[in-house]
Amino acid sequence: MKIIISIKNKFLLFLSFLIVFIFSSIAFASALEVPLPGLKNNPSLSEYVVYLFGFIISIAGVIALISFVVGAIGLINPNVEAHGDAKDRMIGAVLGLVLTACAFLILQTINPNLVSPTLTPLPGVAGVFYTNGSEKAAVSDQVGDVAKRGDDLIKNGYNKLLLDCTNSNGSNDPVLLVWEFPKAGFQGNDSNYSGASVKRIGCGESEDISSLGSFKWAFETPGVYYYLGANCGGLGSSVVTSSQNSIEAPFRGNIKSVKIVNNPAKDLYYGVIFHANAGLENGGACSLPITKNDCNPIGINNLNPFAADIFLMNKTPATSGTGVIFYSEAYGWNTGISAGKKILTNTDIAARNGSYETFASELSFDYTNINRPEAYKHKCNPNKPSDAEGNKEGVDCSQNGCEAFEDCMGSIKINGRYLIKITWMDKSSIWGPCQTFTQDVEELDAKQIGGSKAYFVDVIATN
């Protein structure tokens, strides 16, 4: 009994050491990118498992044979006391080999897949592979040098990428984006990335990569994509889903078009406002809100974007909040401040599909129960004749009267999730600098950057 326990302990120790040794060796070889003998380049997980299983069986047999030979040599040792250890070693070697062989035979009898497993893709799940037209091989999401992707892959003609959507039913099929570069290291032909582009691949489609220098891929997801070329051509960015104070190179200052990808099933409707200055708080020229679910030009005056407001539109705007209030005075919502106000309710905003666009002159202030002189509440209209007292509209008025938000930009109260864009008027063009806000603005005059007065206002309900 003592001998059996000793043999069992030695076998378990030997097996533990063997497993640690094998996995350490494979990890070390992978880190050095040294090909393992008998295993092709870029193996799948199932091929790794089969390889390891066979490798362990082979090593176990070799070690058992060596242990048996060492034990046999011990038997011819003149020292009789060493014969017992030699016999134990020989018995342990034979027993270990028998147990290993029995384990293999039992697993093979129960289910051959247990010793030669295969990975079955889940129904409807997309996979990206190299293909030579009849076979598939695993592919990394980034390949910095196509010419060095592996001798076996090149020799066996794995020159295409395939998007395989197993058991796809055609609904909500994924789309693969492939960034293609003419040079290794994800480089274009020059500093402007000429020759680089992004291809869209659908289920079952393939893309030839044999002439590329490098490539990378990702599945298309909802969000905003920048492009260096018009009509969403040339090099494109990865998906962007949050605002950027400074757009990353090479797209900073060089974006010529933008693509919006939405997902109505998940209520994801993206939009973007581009700014000509880095830092969203710094004002400067900006684009109109871009929300079309497709490729879009940047907007007016060939704007070169350096920052971007990215937002999610709310297609049920009544749930964004109670609305937005514009005041003629700073801190207009505080008790004791006699300010005119213009209320845009959530119903008003919802009536325009969640994007309320208007001239600042159309946001007329309401002075009900507000004790202000008539000259404060009315702006003189130079196109109307004067009355007997010289007033242009028959009432007391002033050239500086606070009749609308265009005249007196006091403060803004944002009651919910809304993006406010104000475009200022300047002397050279009606389209001056713009600013965007998502939180209350206590003193708009202090926030104003350039321009003499507000010209246009956008109120967008967001998620």
40 and 15 part of one domain = yes
Give the range among 10-24, 89-103, 159-173 with minimum mean pLDDT. Answer: 10-24
Q: Which of 220, 247, 263 is the last residue of a domain?
A: 220
Q: Is there a domain that residue 381 lies in?
A: no
CA distance 50 to 108: 13
The CATH number for 159's domain is: 2.60.20
201 and 255 part of one domain = no
**Cβ-proximal residues to 250 (8 Å cutoff; 6+ apart), any chain:** 192, 193, 228, 235
Q: Is there a domain that residue 376 lies in?
A: no
- The three-class DSSP label of residue 378 is coil
Q: Is there a domain that residue 371 lies in?
A: no
The CATH number for 271's domain is: 2.60.20.10
Q: Is there a domain that residue 280 lies in?
A: yes
Q: Is there a domain that residue 268 lies in?
A: yes
452 and 324 part of one domain = yes
138 and 262 part of one domain = no
Looking at the structure of the chain, the number of domains it has is 4
Greatest mean pLDDT range, 28-37, 264-273, 274-283: 264-273
Q: Which of 71, 87, 114 is the last residue of a domain?
A: 114
Q: Is there a domain that residue 266 lies in?
A: yes
- 195 φ, ψ (degrees, to nearest 5): 90, -15
6 and 126 part of one domain = no
Q: What is the pLDDT of residues 387-421, one digit of tens each?
A: 555 555 556 888 889 999 999 999 999 999 999 99
Range(s) of the domain holding residue 350? 317-365+402-461
DSSP for 181-237 reads: ESBTTTB-SSTT-TT-EEEEE-TT-EEE-TT-SEEEEEE--SEEEEESSGGG-S-BP
Q: Is there a domain that residue 382 lies in?
A: no
184 and 90 part of one domain = no
Who wins on pLDDT, 445 or 328? Answer: 328
Q: Single out the residue of 349, 331, 350, 320 nearest to residue 416, CA to CA.
A: 320
The pTM assigned to this predicted structure is 0.70
| Percent of the chain predicted with pLDDT > 70 | 75
Question: Please, what is the Cα angle at 240 between 236 and 353, to 5 degrees?
Answer: 110
327 and 440 part of one domain = yes
